[in-house]
Structure 1
Amino acid sequence: MIDLIIFDCDGVLVDSEILAAQMTSATLSSIGLTMSTDEVLASLVGHDAMTVRRKLEDRHGVALPTDFEADLAVRLDDAFTTRLQPIAGVPELLLGLDRPYCVASNSGHDRLRRTFATTGLTPLVEGRVFSADDVARGKPAPDLFLHAARAMGGVPADRCLVIEDSVTGVTAARAAGMRVIGFCGGSHILPGHDQRLLALGAYRILTDHSQLAALPGLSAGLAATATAGA
């Protein structure tokens, strides 16, 4: 039985990861460092800002400027304001759910507020958004998912279903003892990504939110499907 559905945000609810990768590549280029959009997608998707900084510094062997994140944030805000869209079918999916749901994202609360305001999703997620800002350790640690489940009424981990697009997110969900579906419907997904998510413990892959909505009524059918994949 599933009592709570937990959605990641970037790459699951909004098609933001490709924009974030493009802006990260551009920001690096502005300080003389080279990293393609595909390289960013392959190594940085799903991580919080502190982890991204550490990975970039390790890769390039230099300390990033102290204003790197601020510069990136300006570029992201511009890209999000002009180009960010919800993943197809998200509003209809959220409106049609017959059980509690929430969002658990490694993005900060400020960015999440802007993301949902820009895409018109705020009314559908307000009061049920959790961020890596809320816990000591973001994904791939299980802390954020466990925090969200507690805040949403103390739902046991084995009665939660997570929808995730990243290696980091699937790892965190499984570490939390939660079932997880790998979502590969964003424009940032590279070939072979579905197999990586399955290998990490996602019990099935979906490429369109209509496939999730089609699990019979997101009620008894969803519960039975998730149980079968545990």
Structure 2
Amino acid sequence: MSCDLVIFDCDGVLVDSEVISCRVHAETLTRHGYPITTEQVAERFLGRSGREARREIEAELGRAFDDALEAQLVADVLRSFAESLEPIPHINEALGALAQPVCVASSGTLERIAFALTRTGLHARFAPHLFSAEQVESGKPAPDLFLHAARQMGVAPARCVVIEDSVPGILGATAAGMTVLGFVGGSHCGPGMAARLTAAGAATVFADMRQLPELIR
């Protein structure tokens, strides 16, 4: 494939964070009057921005959450990241073998992206090219974030390859006119994930980051 830029999602692609994040969100939301399981959080909100998840939950409840909830979620997630977050296996090896420029396009906030990448020793590989859904009007599955990243990096969408682990991410990247590869090597990925990513439009699906350089070549 023709590629001048590789765009990485963060959670579940660079860092093995989705199980941690979904668990913390389930616990915090449940404490604040919205009972939900870790599995339900993953099913409904994986790959989407916290802003959009909050809007959906508030619409169901018919009331707004107190702003303290957002602050509590951020604090709880970052504390859990500090305790146990790890990079995706072999991601450093894969990044070292890529000839193309790289950047991050994540549904997380810039604070969370920077914290996760710093914790796992990956920040220097990407900074300052970190792009968040909070910088665009609509997050994944809209194409806005990917198009924003491509514009900032000065690369045409058709020359970008995106690495994603969620259906909203796959849909957003394909809507942006980019080639997208589905990654299913995170600890949150079950046996049906590969089929779901393929059905959403992934050009191919892989589970070991050591495969990535050859896939792009």
Short-chain TM bin: over 0.9
Task: Confirm whether residue 162 of structure 1 aligns to residue 162 of structure 2.
Answer: yes
Q: Give 2:202's aligned amino acid.
A: A
- Classify the secondary structure of the residue corresponding to 1:33: coil
Name the CA distance, whole Å, in 1 between partners of 2:65 and 2:107.
21
Provide the TM-score with structure 2 as the length reference: 0.94
Match of 2:124 in 1: 123
Match of 1:173 in 2: 173
Task: Confirm whether residue 205 of structure 1 aligns to residue 205 of structure 2.
Answer: yes
- Classify the secondary structure of the residue corresponding to 1:67: helix
Match of 1:22 in 2: 23
Deviations 1:33-61 (A, max 9, x none): 32111111111111112111022234555
Contact 1:95–1:124 (Cα < 8 Å) also in 2: no
Name the CA distance, whole Å, in 2 between partners of 1:67 and 1:147.
30
Structure 2: state its 5+ residue gaps.
none
RMSD: 1.5
Structure 1: state its 5+ residue gaps.
223-230
- Higher mean C-alpha deviation, range 202-211 or range 57-66: 57-66
Name the CA distance, whole Å, in 2 between partners of 1:59 and 1:10.
26
Matches within 5 A, 1:179-190: 179-190=179-190
Provide the TM-score with structure 1 as the length reference: 0.89
- Classify the secondary structure of the residue corresponding to 1:211: helix
Deviations 1:87-131 (A, max 9, x none): 001111112211111111111111111111111111111121111
Contact 2:185–2:207 (Cα < 8 Å) also in 1: yes
Match of 1:67 in 2: 68
- Higher mean C-alpha deviation, range 169-178 or range 32-41: 32-41
Name the CA distance, whole Å, in 2 between partners of 1:133 and 1:62.
22
Q: Where do 4+ consecutive residues of structure 1 move more than 6 Å?
A: none
Contact 2:32–2:69 (Cα < 8 Å) also in 1: no
Name the CA distance, whole Å, in 1 between partners of 2:8 and 2:166.
12
